[in-house]
């Protein structure tokens, strides 16, 4: 029995930092679920309409080199302006490719990881500024079209939308509050090391983080910092070993980058403009999905209104952070963190010799979003203090609903129109810039036709696109024939079947010899009318190849190529002003030492009686490193004779020439070496 004066235990009530518009825990959780759902919808709706380029394909290409080719990758994608990238993104993308050999698997995996940033931003801001600001910052991350766009890429910097909020989640609370947050600091540090090992320019985060760690060193737990430092050093050693293997090329790039930066440095506003875009969404509608219609003009005006409003919110947040510096305590620490985190990358990008790409300013995330949220909540608190005294005060929940609806509609429409524009034009030249849906459909067909059960990697296919693009879309490690020109200059395989992937080509029977297998049932037709066709060519033995030309020659050359023979239209009769059609057949019988650096093609000369060249033709070349013993190169040369060429007897000659080393390769005739094969023709 309890006495009358015995104190009764009361439950502890959470003291929110939201001020007079504090949200209940249930309301905040409900709104967070709505924001997370919006973030998922924005990222995964119409995922198939995102454009995939060379850079998006390269990490998967390296991963497939490991999985299929058993090649150990120690360095990542080459960079044109700085040191080559570290290799961690290759290993990250190998994870989904182990499960599903499709570009879909990589994009879904990366996009899902980047979606976690929404939750991380809320969990970062909530203990610092309260639930309201946390929800607002999470909303801005969830629906901003620029953030959504870069959350769905798969290039080496594709996880920056996740890593930057992850690092902030790990370090900011420990710097601001009185809790030690040891586990968070450790996990945030691991995310930092991982980010630095995916993308070389992510190292630009070190100045802003270094300043803050120096300022708040006493507040941070030391053991997690030591572990993170050891991980950083170990990863640096691994990167250094990989970099040492390609140091010669990287040294020249680094010297050139520094020299150009010193001589062309200039002030630019691009850094600040791009940093603000990641909060305001400004100009996304202009860059993607722009069209000259009245509807677009209305959408453009509303988008500018919203982006200007969010821009004001960012500047209001900056003012609020400056006020926090004056007030001291937790507000001072938070204000300093946000200002350093936001402005350091902006200032670093404000003096540059190069155009600043927007993705560089992902380094400011999520500081800009938190500043905007702080500005909005501060304005809301001021309004609530006035409106809350009115006869009909509004519940705090409904202050967020109009903002959520407005941003969802405006940013959602901008993304929708961008997706529609991509759907209307799903393919580009050389497989670069294709939508995920279009490229995956071609990749599925390649994977079915080429297969993975037999043979060695890389599998060879002919397609007018880089091997990284075709590997990425097919989920197979492939090598492409970049120097071919169907049907004028083709290769017939000598060892394993060869697949041709052709765009908008009329596939004539026999264009690739009697072993051609056309597959019209596999044709793919895309929204813009582009047709992808697939042709398989069975291997040709030497006997098969010798049966192809009408006239058999079978002369070897110094290059290792053998002139098997030729087919000449018109039996040597030609007319001035018209083309003489000649088909030559060359077989790779050996690859001499040093041939990998050769760039060899056939020349075709027409000579008069005085041995003067009156026609010099020859359009196709091939790098020696592309040669494979047994392959047969077939060139259909169209030799145009001048209109004023006098009638008479001429000599048609052809041979091999290296355009890089300016070298002829002699042919071995029965009578000894000759520079060219000669054939008389009669011009009428």
Q: Do residues 530 and 644 both lie within one domain?
A: no
Q: pLDDT-derived band of residue 43, with 50, 70 and 90 as boundaries?
A: very high
CA dist 554 and 573 (Å) reads 24
Taking alpha carbons only, the member of 355, 381, 329 closest to residue 274 is 355
- pLDDT of 86 higher than 90: yes
Are 86 and 121 in the same domain? Answer: yes
Helices and strands (H, E) in the chain, number of each type: 20, 24
Phi and psi based region of residue 46 (left: phi greater than 0; alpha: psi -120 to 50; beta: remaining): left
Q: Judge if 314 and 418 occupy the same domain.
A: yes
Domain coverage including residue 607? 543-683
Higher pLDDT, 18 or 684: 684
pLDDT value, residue 386:
53
Burial class (CB in 10 A: 0-12, 13-18, 19+), 41: middle
Q: Which of 385, 389, 321 is nearest to 19 (CA)?
A: 385
204-226: pLDDT as tens digits: 999 999 999 999 999 999 999 99
**Residue 670, CA distances (Å) to 30, 586, 596, 630 in order:** 88, 18, 28, 23
Residues 179 and 204 in one domain: yes
Distance CA 272, CA 345 (A): 9
The pLDDT value given to residue 94:
97
| DSSP line for 494-533 | SSS-EEEEEES----TTTT-TTEEE-GGG-EE-TTS-EEE
- CA separation (Å) from 161 to 59, 120, 146, 362, 372? 17, 11, 10, 7, 18
pLDDT beyond 90 at 80: no
Residue 138 lies in a domain: yes
Taking the C-alpha atoms of residue 333 and residue 126, their distance in angstroms, rounded to an integer, is: 15
Contact between residue 110 and residue 159 where contact means Cβ atoms under 8 Å apart: yes
Per-residue pLDDT for 14 more than 50? no
Examine the pLDDT at 9 and tell me if it is beyond 60: no
- Please check whether residue 63 lies inside any domain of the structure: no
Q: Rounded distance, CA 198 to CA 217, Å?
A: 27
H or E segment to which residue 561 belongs? strand 561-568
pLDDT at 337 over 60: yes
Answer left, alpha or beta for residue 591, where phi above 0 means left and psi between -120 and 50 means alpha. beta
Query: Among 35-49, 138-152, 332-346, 389-403, whose mean pLDDT is lowest?
Result: 389-403
Tell me what the mean pLDDT of segment 492-517 comes to.
93
Q: What is the pLDDT of residue 81?
A: 72
Residue 474 has pLDDT above 80, yes or no: yes
pLDDT recorded at residue 396: 56
Whether 45 is in a domain gets the answer no
Looking at 539, 570, 587, which one is the last position of a domain? 539
Per-residue pLDDT, 13: 33
Question: Positive or negative, the Cα torsion across 21, 22, 27, 29?
Answer: positive
Task: Work out the average pLDDT over 77-100.
Answer: 92
| CA atoms of 448 and 409, how far apart (whole Å) | 41
Residue 61, pLDDT score = 97
pLDDT range class, residue 168, cuts 50, 70, 90: very high
Determine the average pLDDT of the residues in 88-107.
97
The beta-strand segments (E) located in 31-85 are 51-52
Centre a 10 Å sphere on the Cβ of residue 235 and count the other Cβ atoms it contains. Answer: 16
Q: What angle do CA 74, 76, 77 make, to 5 degrees?
A: 150
Arithmetic mean of pLDDT, 155-172: 97
**Mean pLDDT of the 445-474 span:** 88
Evaluate whether residue 256 is within a structural domain.
yes
Range name among 348-357, 533-542, 554-563 with the lowest pLDDT average: 348-357
Over the stretch 593-612, which tens digit does the pLDDT of each residue have?
Answer: 999 999 999 999 999 999 99
Name the average pLDDT for the chain: 91
pLDDT value of residue 18: 57
DSSP state of 636: E
For residue 656, pLDDT over 80 is answered with: yes
Report the pLDDT value the prediction gives residue 457, as an integer from 0 to 100: 83
Phi, psi of 248 (to 5 degrees): -60, -50
> Are 448 and 416 found together in one domain?
no
| Same-domain check for residues 455 and 369 | no
Query: In terms of domains, do 489 and 547 share one?
Result: no
Rounded mean pLDDT, 244-255: 80
Min mean pLDDT across 25-39, 253-267, 294-308, 588-602 is at: 253-267
Q: Tell me the C-alpha distance between 168 and 369, whole Å.
A: 12
Residues constituting the chain: 684
Give the pLDDT confidence score for residue 659 in this predicted structure.
92
Segment 291-300 shows an average pLDDT of 90
CA distance 618 to 572: 19
Assigned domain for 36 exists: no
**Count of other CB atoms within 10 angstroms of residue 593:** 5
Q: How far apart are CA 171 and CA 209, in angstroms?
A: 9
Q: Are 668 and 554 in contact (CB under 8 A)?
A: no
Question: Rounded to an integer, what is the distance from CA 439 to the centroid of its chain?
Answer: 14
Percent of the chain residues past pLDDT 70, beyond the cut:
92
Distance of CA 592 to the CA centre of its chain: 37
Please say whether the dihedral angle defined by the alpha carbons of residues 67, 72, 78 and 84, taken in this order, is positive or negative: positive
Residue 594 in domain = yes
Tell me: do 92 and 181 sit in the same domain.
yes
Q: 3-class SS at 112?
A: helix
Range ranked top by mean pLDDT from 157-171, 417-431, 476-490: 157-171
Tell me, yes or no, whether 474 and 503 share the same domain. yes
pLDDT at residue 95 tops 80: yes
- CA separation for the pair 417, 436 (Å, rounded): 17
C-alpha torsion sign, points 359, 133, 344, 117: negative
For 607-635, what is each residue's pLDDT tens digit? 999 999 999 999 899 999 999 999 999 99
> Can you tell me the mean pLDDT for 245-269?
75
635: β partners: 489, 584
Burial tier of 600 (Cβ tally within 10 Å: 0-12, 13-18, 19+): buried
Looking at the structure of the chain, the number of domains it has is 3
Residue 459 host element (H or E): strand 459-462
With pLDDT > 90 as the criterion, what percentage of the chain qualifies? 80
The enclosing domain of 670 has a CATH number of 2.60.40.770
Q: Using CA atoms in the order 194, 195, 196, 200, what is the torsion angle rounded to 10 degrees? A: 140
Question: Measured in whole angstroms, how far is the alpha carbon of residue 13 from the centre of its chain?
Answer: 49
Residue 86 lies in a domain: yes
**Rounded to an integer, what is the distance from CA 415 to the centroid of its chain?**
19
Domain boundary, last residue among 402, 423, 444:
423
The pLDDT, as a whole number, for residue 21 is 56
Q: Domain for residue 47, yes or no?
A: no
Residue 11 in this model has a pLDDT that exceeds 70: no
509-533 mean pLDDT: 95
- Band (pLDDT 50/70/90 cuts) for residue 290 is confident
Quick one: 354 and 487 in the same domain? no
Indicate whether 361 and 454 sit together in one domain.
no
pLDDT tens, residue by residue, 403-450: 889 999 999 999 999 999 999 999 998 999 999 999 999 999 999 999
Taking the CB of residue 427, how many other CB atoms lie within 10 A of it?
Answer: 22
Domain end, chosen from 482, 508, 539, is at 539
Do both 352 and 285 map to the same domain? yes
What average pLDDT does the segment 470-478 reach? 96
Three-class DSSP category at 377: helix
Instruction: Give the whole-angstrom CA distance, residue 16 versus residue 280.
Output: 27
Cα(401)–Cα(411) distance, rounded to whole angstroms? 15
């Amino acid at each position: 029995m309890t006495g009358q004066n015995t104190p009764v235990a009361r439950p502890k009530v959470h003291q929110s930092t939201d001020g007079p518009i504090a949200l209940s825990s249930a309301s905040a959780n409900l709104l967070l679920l709505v924001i997370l759902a919006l973030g998922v919808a924005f990222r995964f709706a119409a995922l198939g309409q995102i454009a995939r380029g060379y850079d998006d394909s390269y990490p998967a290409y390296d991963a497939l080199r490991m999985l299929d080719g058993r090649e150990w990758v120690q360095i990542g994608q080459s960079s044109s302006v700085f040191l080559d990238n570290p290799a961690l993104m290759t290993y990250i993308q190998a994870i989904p490719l182990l499960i599903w050999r499709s570009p879909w698997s990589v994009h879904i995996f990366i996009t899902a990881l980047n979606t976690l940033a929404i939750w991380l931003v809320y969990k970062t801001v909530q203990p610092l500024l309260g639930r309201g600001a946390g929800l607002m910052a999470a909303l801005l991350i969830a629906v901003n079209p620029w953030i959504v766009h870069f959350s769905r890429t798969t290039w080496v910097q594709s996880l920056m939308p996740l890593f930057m909020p992850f690092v902030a989640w790990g370090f900011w609370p420990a710097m601001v509050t009185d809790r030690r947050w040891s586990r968070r600091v450790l996990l945030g540090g691991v995310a930092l090391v991982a980010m630095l090992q995916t993308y070389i320019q992510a190292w630009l985060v070190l100045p802003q983080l270094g300043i803050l760690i120096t300022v708040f060193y006493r507040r941070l737990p030391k053991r997690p910092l030591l572990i993170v430092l050891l991980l950083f050093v170990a990863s640096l050693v691994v990167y250094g070993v990989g970099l040492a293997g390609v140091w010669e090329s990287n040294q020249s790039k680094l010297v050139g980058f520094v020299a150009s930066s010193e001589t062309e440095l200039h002030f630019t506003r691009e850094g600040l403009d791009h940093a603000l875009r990641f909060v305001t969404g400004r100009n996304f509608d202009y860059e993607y999905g722009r069209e000259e219609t009245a509807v677009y003009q209305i959408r453009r005006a509303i988008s500018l209104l919203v982006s200007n409003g969010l821009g004001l919110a960012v500047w209001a947040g900056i003012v609020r952070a400056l006020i926090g510096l004056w007030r001291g305590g937790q507000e001072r620490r938070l204000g300093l963190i946000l200002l350093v985190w936001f402005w350091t990358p902006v200032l670093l990008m404000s003096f540059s010799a190069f155009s600043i790409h927007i993705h560089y300013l992902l380094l400011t995330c999520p500081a800009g979003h938190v500043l905007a949220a702080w500005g909005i909540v501060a304005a809301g608190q001021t309004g609530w203090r006035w409106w809350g005294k009115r006869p009909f005060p509004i519940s705090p929940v409904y202050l967020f609903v109009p903002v959520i609806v407005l941003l969802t509609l405006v940013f959602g429409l901008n993304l929708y129109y961008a997706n529609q524009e991509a759907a209307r034009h799903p393919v580009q030249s050389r497989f670069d810039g294709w939508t995920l849906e279009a490229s995956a459909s071609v990749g599925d067909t390649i994977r079915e036709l080429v297969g993975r059960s037999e043979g060695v990697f890389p599998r060879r296919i002919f397609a007018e696109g880089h091997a990284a693009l075709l590997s990425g879309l097919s989920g197979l490690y492939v090598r492409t024939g970049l120097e071919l020109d169907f049907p004028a200059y083709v290769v017939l395989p000598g060892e394993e079947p060869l697949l041709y992937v052709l765009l908008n080509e009329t596939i004539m029977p026999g264009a690739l010899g009697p072993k051609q297998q056309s597959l019209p049932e596999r044709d793919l037709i895309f929204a813009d009318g582009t047709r992808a066709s697939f042709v398989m060519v069975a291997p040709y033995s030497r006997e098969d190849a010798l049966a192809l030309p009408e006239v058999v020659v079978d002369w070897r050359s110094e290059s290792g190529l053998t002139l098997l023979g030729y087919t000449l239209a018109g039996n040597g009769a030609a007319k001035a002003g018209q083309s003489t059609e000649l088909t030559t057949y060359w077989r790779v019988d050996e690859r001499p030492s040093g041939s990998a650096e050769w760039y060899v093609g056939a020349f075709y000369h027409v000579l008069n009686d005085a041995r003067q060249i009156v026609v010099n033709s020859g359009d196709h070349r091939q790098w020696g490193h592309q040669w494979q013993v047994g392959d047969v190169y077939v060139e259909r040369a169209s030799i145009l004779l001048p209109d004023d060429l006098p009638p008479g007897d001429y000599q048609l000659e052809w041979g091999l020439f290296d355009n890089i080393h300016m070298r002829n390769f002699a042919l071995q005739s029965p009578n000894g070496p000759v520079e060219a094969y000669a054939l008389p023709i009669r011009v009428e």
